[in-house]
Amino acid sequence: MSNQSELSSDLDRRLRSICAQARWILRITEYSDRPAPVLVVKERVPLSKDSGSDEVETRKSVLKDRGLVYGKALRACLPAIREVVSGICDPTGVPLELHRAFNSGKIAYRGNLPLDEEAGAKLALMFKLQERVADMDRVEIISWRVQRFSREEALYWLTRLTQYPEPLNRWAQAGMRLMLGGQAGDKDLKSVLESVRRM
């Protein structure tokens, strides 16, 4: 059995029950119309169904997509993604070592990784903000700056970008791209990128 197969088997065995309960999931998958792999961050959202009585509602949940990344943007974000997932622990506080899924030059693992609330919010922000950004230096700067957010900052900004009517969400995303990643063609992008890589 190859090292990558052993890694996939180990991750699947350890993470299956945790993923079933986790509010946030990072799915590493493939789409026929996009370069593999595709990383999709999902949030478990409760659904309530009226049972027709005043007693108890049947509660279910569904995983909703909160952002995705692939191709060049994934390569630009990957070091920051690795940092975000490296600190995730199981419910007893034991590190899950999820960064191992991203350690090789090629991401061979396919499956679900459980995220805590902070990691889920940060990855959702990264994936949302890299959309419509053609300059990969800007994408990387944005990803590093989001990675360094506190849990509270990540949750606040994710709410500002996603919980309002569509035009307001879109404007907030455009403003945050500018705030975190500067403008396309800015002469200082390279020096800022070097600086955030060293932080």
Residues 3 and 160: their CA atoms lie apart, in Å, by 42
**What number of H helices and E strands is found in the chain?**
7, 4
Beta pairing class for 111-115 and 24-29: antiparallel
Residues 6 and 19: their CA atoms lie apart, in Å, by 19
Indicate the pLDDT class of residue 2, thresholds 50, 70 and 90: low
Rounded to two decimals, the pTM is 0.88
Q: Which residues, in sequence order, are CB contacts of 89 under 8 Å at separation 6+?
A: 95, 96, 116
Spans of all domains in the chain: 3-46+60-198
**How is 160-195 classified by DSSP, letter by letter?**
HHHSS-HHHHHHHHHHHHHHHH--TT-TTHHHHHHH
- Output helix, strand, coil percentages for the chain, rounded to the nearest 5: 50, 20, 30
What digits encode the pLDDT tens for the residues 155-168?
Answer: 999 999 999 999 99
What digits encode the pLDDT tens for the residues 73-121?
Answer: 999 999 999 999 999 998 889 999 898 888 767 888 899 999 999 999 9
Strand partners, 59: 48
Secondary structure class of 1 (helix, strand, coil): coil
Indicate the pLDDT class of residue 13, thresholds 50, 70 and 90: confident
End-to-end CA, the chain = 39
Residues 24 and 145: their CA atoms lie apart, in Å, by 21
What rounded mean pLDDT belongs to the chain? Answer: 89
Which phi and psi angles does 140 have, rounded to 5°? -65, -40
